[in-house]
Amino acid sequence: MARKKNTNTARFVIKSILIVLVAGAMYFAGGRLVKAFKTAAFFKVQSIVIDPSLQFIRKEDLRGLFGKNIFSVDLRSVQTQLSRRYPQASQLKLVKRFPNQILIVAKKRLPVAQMKVKGNTVTLDEEGVILSVNGGQTETLPGITGISAETARVVAGLPLDAPHVHTALKVIKLFGEDAGLSDYAIAEVDISNLSKIFFMLTNRVQVIIDRDNMAHNIKVLGVILSQKDFDVKGAQYIDLRFKEPIIGKK
């Protein structure tokens, strides 16, 4: 019995030694392999592909990535820096494409409106994100008025935290989506009174709606302005807050 016990003990010791040796060899080989991946020229970033809609991103801002190992490069920090520098890019992401390429993809934010905040001309996208500050007045963009935004934080890339700005942006969005209004454009939206929202068309016709029925009001406006016999040149205002639209003549 003692001989059998000694034999089992010897086998256990041998197996343990073999396991340690194999584990050590694997650890050593794995370390060598990781080191090879991190130092091989094959895995150094050689090209950066930018989405065609993001050509405003300057290549100078990406120079620090070239030559970096694709396994160890910190794309998250670069992604954060680019998002702050280019507020006109939404959902910006940097993606590794092995062995040595990086892709930059994003959705370009489009300007939809402008407004004055603390004496500055602020350009907004459809979500109310500030695209630029003091970038100059653009005649083709609707202006938003009737908002008190003196306490708002004005930083490009951040949403404009001003009361009811999203109401004005929704008016602009609904108007732009209506096929019957494709021949017209909004020049200005005044939301100083939410039960009596004014917006001026570029042909100087004033439209009056209320916040609770914006979608329906604008749909009715599209029907009215798309009628061939409607004398738009003779109209001064269109009030859509009531069951029957009121059309004021010049």
Q: Please spell the DSSP secondary structure of 191-219, one letter per residue.
A: -SSTTSEEEEETTS-EEEE-GGGHHHHHH
CATH assignment of the domain containing 239: 3.40.50.11690
Same domain, 126 and 245: yes
Q: Are 37 and 71 in contact (CB under 8 A)?
A: yes
Contact 79, 104 (CB under 8 A): no
pLDDT of 22? 55
Token reading at 110: 């489009």
pLDDT of residue 163: 86
Q: Quick one: pLDDT at residue 18?
A: 59
pLDDT of residue 227: 92
How many domains does one find in the chain? Answer: 2
Does residue 240 share a domain with residue 122? yes
Asked if residue 101 belongs to a domain, the reply is yes
Which of 108, 137, 156 is the last residue before a domain boundary? 108
CB atoms within 10 A of CB 74: 11
CB 215 within 8 A of CB 209: no
Same domain, 209 and 144: yes
Q: What pLDDT, on the 0 to 100 scale, is given for residue 23?
A: 52
By C-alpha distance, which of 107, 147, 142, 151 is closest to 123?
A: 142
* 229 within a domain of the structure (yes/no): yes
CB atoms within 10 A of CB 164: 18
Instruction: Kindly state whether residues 122 and 95 are assigned to the same domain.
Output: no
Do 146 and 51 share a domain, yes or no? no
The token pair that represents 173 in the structure block:
């969005």
Structure tokens at 212: 């609770």
Query: Scanning the structure block, which residue is given the tokens 């004496």?
Result: 119
Instruction: Say what the pLDDT of residue 176 is.
Output: 97
The whole-number pLDDT of residue 41 equals 82
What pLDDT, on the 0 to 100 scale, is given for residue 29?
47
Tell me which residue range forms the domain holding 57: 41-108
Query: Is residue 92 located within the same domain as residue 186?
Result: no
Average pLDDT per 10 consecutive residues for the chain, totaling 250 residues:
54 60 52 58 91 86 92 91 89 92 92 93 95 86 92 89 93 97 96 95 95 96 94 95 94
Domain end call among 93, 108, 123 = 108
Same-domain status, 117 and 104: no
Q: pTM for this structure?
A: 0.74
Specify the CATH number for the domain of residue 66.
3.10.20.310
Same domain, 118 and 240: yes
Among 108, 133, 153, give the residue marking a domain's end.
108
117 and 85 share one domain: no
Same domain, residue pair 132 and 216:
yes
